[in-house]
Structure 1
Amino acid sequence: MEPAEFTAALEDEKSTELDRLGSEKALVASTSAQLDAESVLAAAARAEARAADTFDQWAASESAEEVRETFERVAADERAHYERIVEHRDDAATDVDSDPDTDELHDYLRSLDGSVERVASGLVARPMVASRSLLQTINFFVNDADESSAALFRELRSETDEMVDEGTDLLDALCESDDDWDRAAEAAEATIDRAYDSYADTLEGMGVDPKPVC
């Protein structure tokens, strides 16, 4: 399978979930409906910190050298994203825990122990989800007339999108058979499912329908 075919198939298979994860309700879920600038910044910082912790854990137990080095670098990049968000404001956002509690998505990611599954889930599916959340964060700050914050998140989103291409290229090197690609697809789809289930459960717990209003 070609890397581009993998991402296209994943986006097609999980189009409904990805569309909803990229809706305006994304920030309602991630901030528990606290739609102010500091709450949005804090939620974004926690997401980056969780990702950094996940990649740190993977790097510590990964036996494949190229994959381990990639996880180490991505962990550093995600930690840098956290620090850039926190340093962007000098008030409430600076109090965000750099080691936040895990969530359903990262519980699933941290349960994976295969290189193929980790790369497919962490470097392809997870950034697909994160990119959609970051787009809504950009839109929030554009609507808030805060161009500085919007510009920061545009940069973070661009770097997150690049991760998908890197992940599929690494998968291409790791997958030696159709069975390997099938395992990658299963892990990637499960990752999006976990993210969507958490999103939907959070909204339903607040009495908000996760489905779009037609």
Structure 2
Amino acid sequence: MDGETLRGRLETDESASLSLLGSPRFLRAAAGGDPAPEPLLDAAAESEHAARETFRAWVADESDAEARAAFESVVDQEHDHRERVAAELDGWAPDDGGAGPMHAYLRGRDATVQRIAGGMVGRPLVTLRTHGRLIAFFEGRDGDVAARRADLFRDLRAETAAVLDEGLALLDDRCAGDEDWETVRMVAGYTIRVAGDDTADALRSLEIDPDVEE
């Protein structure tokens, strides 16, 4: 296996979760009801903040110098993403309610390849879907503000895609055989499923069937 094969395998194996995360149902889960700009922006800022904190924790104890440098770069990027999204809100501050299921899982990873697989492959595959849905949401609204926000998420999505490419390249350099690739496939896949399950649970709490497309 190699990085691109891994990506294709994940997109096939985790297609149900990825489809939900890229669907209009995701917007309802993220907004806690009918989609509206402010709660969606708030949820996006929280997501960027959680990612920043995950990678900051990894930088503190990562022994692989190249991986640590990559994690530091993601910290800077996620901080920038958080600030750019927060600038669209009045007086935004991070919620102290915890990391959320996906980032709680990621923060429990100690091995370098597992961190790369979860944080720089599984997580970006999730984010590409959710950012794509946010782009579509703001594209569907009138006015210069909505257009600016669609452009914002378009830029964030492109920058996240670059993280995914780097993560796959790092795994190509570190996975020595089938056992390594199977490990990273399981970690990245589980990361995606946790995000999908979290969205499904949020929908059920709103009495929305996550399996019924809108």
Q: State the alpha-carbon separation in 2 of the partners of residues 148 and 101 from structure 1.
A: 30
| 1:115-126 mapped onto 2 (5 Å cutoff) | 115-126=112-123
Instruction: Give the SS at the match of 1:113.
Output: coil
Instruction: Give the SS at the match of 1:95.
Output: coil
Q: State the alpha-carbon separation in 2 of the partners of residues 213 and 27 from structure 1.
A: 12
Q: State the alpha-carbon separation in 1 of the partners of residues 80 and 130 from structure 2.
A: 18
Equivalent residue number for residue 181 of structure 2: 181
Q: CA deviation at 1:2?
A: 2.1
Q: CA deviation at 1:33?
A: 1.3
Moved over 2 A (4+): 98-101
Output the amino acid matched with 2:133: Q
- The CA RMSD over aligned residues, in Å, is 1.4
Output the amino acid matched with 1:127: P
Output the amino acid matched with 2:72: E
| 1:1-214 mapped onto 2 (5 Å cutoff) | 1-89=1-89, 91=90, 94-97=91-94, 101-145=98-142, 146-213=146-213
Q: CA deviation at 1:17?
A: 1.3
Change in Cα spacing, 1:193 to 1:5, as seen in structure 2 (3 Å) is same
Deviations 1:59-97 (CA, angstroms, capped at 9, x unpaired)? 1111100001110110110011000111234x2xx3231
Output the amino acid matched with 2:126: V
Instruction: Give the SS at the match of 1:88.
Output: coil
Q: State the alpha-carbon separation in 2 of the partners of residues 2 and 150 from structure 1.
A: 33
Output the amino acid matched with 1:122: G
Change in Cα spacing, 1:83 to 1:98, as seen in structure 2 (3 Å) is farther
Q: CA deviation at 1:143?
A: 1.3
Does structure 2 conserve the Cα–Cα contact (< 8 Å) formed by 1:50 and 1:100? no
Output the amino acid matched with 1:155: D
Q: CA deviation at 1:16?
A: 1.4
Q: CA deviation at 1:35?
A: 2.0
Q: CA deviation at 1:101?
A: 2.3
Q: How many residues align?
A: 211
Q: State the alpha-carbon separation in 1 of the partners of residues 136 and 86 from structure 2.
A: 19
Q: State the alpha-carbon separation in 2 of the partners of residues 17 and 38 from structure 1.
A: 25
Structure 2: tracts of 5 or more residues without a match: none
Q: State the alpha-carbon separation in 1 of the partners of residues 95 and 171 from structure 2.
A: 30
| Identical amino acids, percent of aligned pairs | 37
